[in-house]
Amino acid sequence: MEALVFSICVATNHHAEILISRGERSSYASQGNWTPLTVEELYRFLGIILYMSVVKFQMLERYWSMQVLYRNNPVPGVMSRTRFQAILSFLQVTPPADINKAEKLTRVQSLVDHVKEKSKELYQPHREIAVDERMVSSKHKFSGIRQFIKDKPIRFGIKLWVVACNMSGYTYDFFVYLGKKNTIFTDRAKTLGKELFARKLYQLVGVLKSNSLSIPDELRDVKIWERVATCGDFRWHRVDEFVFVQWKDCKVVTFMSPLHQGSATTNLENRMKVRLQIVLQGLDNLNSVNHLVCH
């Protein structure tokens, strides 16, 4: 970690000196010179960033506000607003000389590699793991890797393919999706399942996309079945060692498994309905209290 932080300081200082020498962002220079960023100062800067991710104000300036409402805010005692904005303006992970514009992750590759290495080093996942896509919220526009997925809780951001522990949700490893031109994916879920099955690894249970080539022909009329099925309905079809199940919730979900029986059923708790019931119960209790106070 120390080596990475030091390299970020070096890259940031180099970047700042180059821009200031060109007359750019000179308002952040002291008497025409850049005050070098130190390791200790960068740690304080990162601490403020983490604090801002938890305690959210509508405007950046309010973290340095002297108003009574913000008097318990620790940020002003850690770093001045001018210095924070200066570091934010010049922050650089990769030294300018090492940037390869043909590579979309060139500016953050060393940071990504470090996070991946530490993620695997500091945690041992349980037996059940999942491979799935995950969105990291981001408002940036110029990297060429920002994605939009309408059905996700986070619709705009950076898309990752992650290997996660099923028990804890911990991300053990991840891969940054760089777009179709930079990433090759083949629909081989069934082929992969057969290869694992041949090696006596029977744990592959996966959700398939609606256009997956692995879905058997008998279950491909998804749109027709979706119109006639009601919430909770399911159907299944077995092909060799695998059972393919389609289940209707808000939309049709298809998954494949070598472990389950197609006719087996289980109970599923709708978390959104449970949460709604809790909220309504809370409102009922509040109304009851108000009624007693009024009388």
**Residue stretches of the chain with pLDDT short of 70:** 141-143, 180-194, 196-197, 200-204, 260-295
Give the contacts of 14 (CB within 8 A, at least 6 positions apart).
92, 95, 96
Give the contacts of 205 (CB within 8 A, at least 6 positions apart).
255, 256, 257, 258, 259, 260
Residue 205 is predicted with a pLDDT of 73
Residue 87 is predicted with a pLDDT of 95
- Residue 43 has phi, psi (to 5 degrees) of -60, -40
Query: What's the pTM?
Result: 0.64
Residue 210 is predicted with a pLDDT of 77
What is the 3-state secondary structure of the chain?
A: CHHHHHHHHHHHHHHHHHHHHCCCCHHHCECCECCCCCHHHHHHHHHHHHHHHHCCCCCHHHHHCCCHHHCCCCHHHCCCHHHHHHHHHHCCCCCHHHCCCCCCCCCCHHHHHHHHHHHHHCCCCCCCEEEEEEEEECCCCCCCCEEECCCCCCCEEEEEEEEEECCCCCEEEEEECCCCCCCCCCCCHHHHHHHHHHCCCCCCCEEECCCCCCCCHHHCCHHHHHHHCCCCCEEEEEECCEEEEEEECCCEEEEEECCCCCCCCCCCCCHHHHHHHHHHHHHHHHHHHHHHHHC
- Write out pLDDT tens, residues 250-271: 788 888 877 766 666 655 555 5
